[in-house]
Structure 1
Amino acid sequence: MSGKAGPSKKPKTYHYHTEWEEDFFFTMSFSKCVCLICQSTIALPKKGNVERHFRTVHKNYDTEFPPKSELRRRKVKELKSQLSGQQSFFSQLTSKARAATEASFRVSHFIVKNKKSFQDGEMVKEAFVEAADSLFRDFKNKPEILASIKALQLSRSTVTRRSEAMAEDLTQQLWKDIADCECFSLQLDESTDVSDTAQLCIFIRMVFTDMTAKEELLTVLPMKEHTRGEDIFQSFKNFIEKTQLPVCKLVSITTDGAPAMVGRSNGFIAKCREDDDFPDFLNYHCIIHQQALCAKMLNMKEIMDVATKIACSIRARSLQRRLFRAHLEKCDHSELLLHTDVRWLSRGKFLQRFRELLPEIKEFFREEFDRRFQDFALLEPVATFMCYPFQEDAEVVSLASKVATLFHLNSSGVEDEILTLQADIQLKARAHGQFWNLLTEDKYPNIRKCATFLTALFGSTYLCESAFSHMKIIKSKYRSTMTDEHLEVCLRLAISSYCPDYASLADSIQCKSSE
């Protein structure tokens, strides 16, 4: 016997034949062989199967409607028309149910985006019905319109489920962008909600190959116990491991100046730098927080109290005021400004009289200011160059060294690319607007990477602070029992720039109309 196996037998293919309509009352509908009499389907469009069904179940049709007769042809046409009508009816019902489901997604998104309660869906539906009763009063299809509105699924549980599904859809869009981006930066801040749960808010800024950037809420991590640096780091580390966040793309982290974040030994930033999974990254103390801290150094209460007392002693008495104005006739100023916290002129105008001392004040507070903004001072010359790289007085060697140090690049390679770039007349002519995406990866790898990293940087934790304002509205004292999961769902839907794919979401679930 030969050891070779014989050729495999091809499966036989069966095809429907049009003559079966009159012979056996069968037709093809949606790729299925369907009996026109009882709507039964045959698995294989095989003549033996079709004939067996007809002869067994509907054999009396040969007597009532003789083969090849006009009566039989009319019956076949009638049955086909009935089948089409039934299919059209069920198709319309399915289409209406799907439209109602998609509409419920849209309304649910609108409710949550405006930071309203899940249970407000029923109120929106009732308002819609009341408005429709007047708006469509003279419409012939008013009953159909009202029926469609009443079919909307907007109960509390439905809005909750819709919100969860849409938040999941937005999250998938976010993770697709994270996978596609060249690099990203993070900003973190922590605040307590109305139930005294510490919520760690994390935003991400992604930069893509065309040098466009997108900022989105990455996650909200509830801190149930302590909020020390190691606790924040461990919570974030668990999130990374769970979601497989590609931290290799991380460029910088921006936080506030709290010891839990920037502590030298046990702060969050220090813990991240100790972890081998994290690359070398930049970290910044939010510039808004630094400005606020510097403003606290200017405690002008004693000066303001004395100056205000003197000004009031002159301005409050008519004689004193007239004598003082006469005294000022030879001066540049004709009147003494008055300030109170309630009315009159602003503190800024009142203190304008002391502006001669501004140079001394600046010099007095310069160690404090230099210390506060030193992280941004390192970035300033690089950022200035990247805003317009064709400055004739640019110190290329020094600049290349700073770029290489800041972003861990090759100094000589950066220097060569800067010189090549400045000699490129065509690029210089297009230096305004979208410029850095014109640089090719093979010719300017270091400069392009520098531009990408700079685009990804966060200067402040403004997005976190803004998100906390939204959080205070969403999880108010009237919704204090809201779970952490639903808080993240509502926050994501409220502030995300992504739009849910309503059509796909409606297709992904079984469409049902409201009773």
Structure 2
Amino acid sequence: MEAQIKKFVYFTIALDESTDLSDTSQLAIIIRGVGYEFNVTADFLTMSSLHGTTTGKDVYESLLKELAEFSLPLEKMSGICTDGAPAMRQQNGHCVELNSEQYANIVSDLSAEFARRFFQFAETEKKIKIFFDPFSVNPSSLAAELQMELNDLQANKRLKQRHLNHELIEFYHHFFPAGTYQALHKHALRMVSLFSSTYLCEQFFSRMKQTKSTYRTGLTDEHLAQQLRISFSDIKPDLDRIVQEKQCQVAH
């Protein structure tokens, strides 16, 4: 996994939290990364055990710690995908009693948040359209750097034909001149790195329940994470390197 991570230009994290049979909150961290040539890796990164509280602050601090452990810089992170649970979105997870003034303020905040979210949807839709069909996007509403590149790209009939004749990732991988359209290339890499759902997290927790069953509740957090990495990950271990790093037992 470490070898794959070094090749990531951008990555996205999928987060979810569930409680195992020992009442320990386990935070699943799944990563999806893309290399310069649009080679995508989506796999288990790590599992973090949360002992005590499980507020948004706890999740945030645990995530930062794990990202640092794997030398994953925040500037390469395209986004975080969660199931929308409060602990994944808030700094503090607690209930309070409200008076009428507080209630009015919350309604006002919700209205502003509602408008903000719909603005984000519109912006996200625009970004997706640039990625999927850069030849039909109106460049005038975009940043200057993207405008210049899109105007030039849309005048290129040869590339437009290749876009029509090939699968999207194949087009970007084999035919898109990254050196000429650097901003569009970076934009496409960001889009490819995004998760569409937390399905892999749900799949992970299903595997966790099978592994830490009623007959194996004595599994430590470390051993549980190790077993889940072996059973869940699609990445083949580098056995030659592992053997080389081990000290051989010489017979006397």
- Scaled to the shorter chain, the TM-score interval is 0.7 to 0.9
Aligned to 1:428: 160
Residue-pair matches, total: 224
SS in 2 for 1:435: helix
Distance in 2 between the 1:386 and 1:242 partners? Answer: 32
Aligned to 2:10: 183
The correspondence for 2:177, drawn from 437, 440, 447, is: 440
1:456 pairs with 2:188 = no
Higher relative contact order (CA 8 A, sep 6+): 2
Q: Which amino acid aligns with 1:388?
A: D
1:204 pairs with 2:15 = no
SS in 2 for 1:379: helix
Q: Which amino acid aligns with 2:179?
A: D
Percent of matched pairs sharing the same residue: 36
Q: 1:474 to 1:377 in 2, by over 3 A?
A: farther
Distance in 2 between the 1:383 and 1:497 partners? Answer: 28
Distance in 1 between the 2:24 and 2:115 partners? Answer: 33
The correspondence for 1:390, drawn from 135, 140, 143, is: 135
Q: 1:504 to 1:446 in 2, by over 3 A?
A: closer
Per-residue CA distance 1:48-71 (angstroms, 9 max, x = gap): xxxxxxxxxxxxxxxxxxxxxxxx
Distance in 2 between the 1:241 and 1:448 partners? Answer: 27
Distance in 2 between the 1:227 and 1:386 partners? Answer: 37
With normalisation by structure 2, the TM-score equals 0.80
**Distance apart, 1:377 and its partner CA:** 4.3
Q: Which amino acid aligns with 1:494?
A: S
Q: 1:417 to 1:501 in 2, by over 3 A?
A: same
Q: Which amino acid aligns with 2:171?
A: F
- Map residues 276-355 of structure 1 onto 2, 5 A cutoff: none
Aligned to 2:97: none
Residues 10 and 35, structure 2, Cα contact 8 Å, conserved in 1: yes
- Map residues 71-470 of structure 1 onto 2, 5 A cutoff: 174-263=1-90, 266=92, 374=118, 375-391=120-136, 394-398=137-141, 400=142, 411-431=143-163, 432-433=166-167, 434-437=170-173, 438-470=175-207
Unaligned runs of 5+ residues in structure 2 are 94-110
Distance in 2 between the 1:266 and 1:384 partners? Answer: 36
Aligned to 1:497: 234
Q: Which amino acid aligns with 2:202?
A: E
Distance in 2 between the 1:413 and 1:241 partners? Answer: 32
Aligned to 2:103: none
Q: Which amino acid aligns with 2:85?
A: A
SS in 1 for 2:6: helix
With normalisation by structure 1, the TM-score equals 0.41
Q: Which amino acid aligns with 1:435?
A: F
**Distance apart, 1:244 and its partner CA:** 3.0
SS in 1 for 2:218: coil
Per-residue CA distance 1:284-316 (angstroms, 9 max, x = gap): xxxxxxxxxxxxxxxxxxxxxxxxxxxxxxxxx
Q: Which has the higher strand share?
A: 2
The structure with the largest alpha-carbon Rg is 1
SS in 1 for 2:234: coil
Residues 135 and 150, structure 2, Cα contact 8 Å, conserved in 1: no
The correspondence for 1:479, drawn from 213, 216, 229, is: 216
Per-residue CA distance 1:394-431 (angstroms, 9 max, x = gap): 32212x2xxxxxxxxxx111011111111112211211
Aligned to 2:98: none
Distance in 2 between the 1:511 and 1:477 partners? Answer: 38
Per-residue CA distance 1:227-248 (angstroms, 9 max, x = gap): 0111112222333344433222
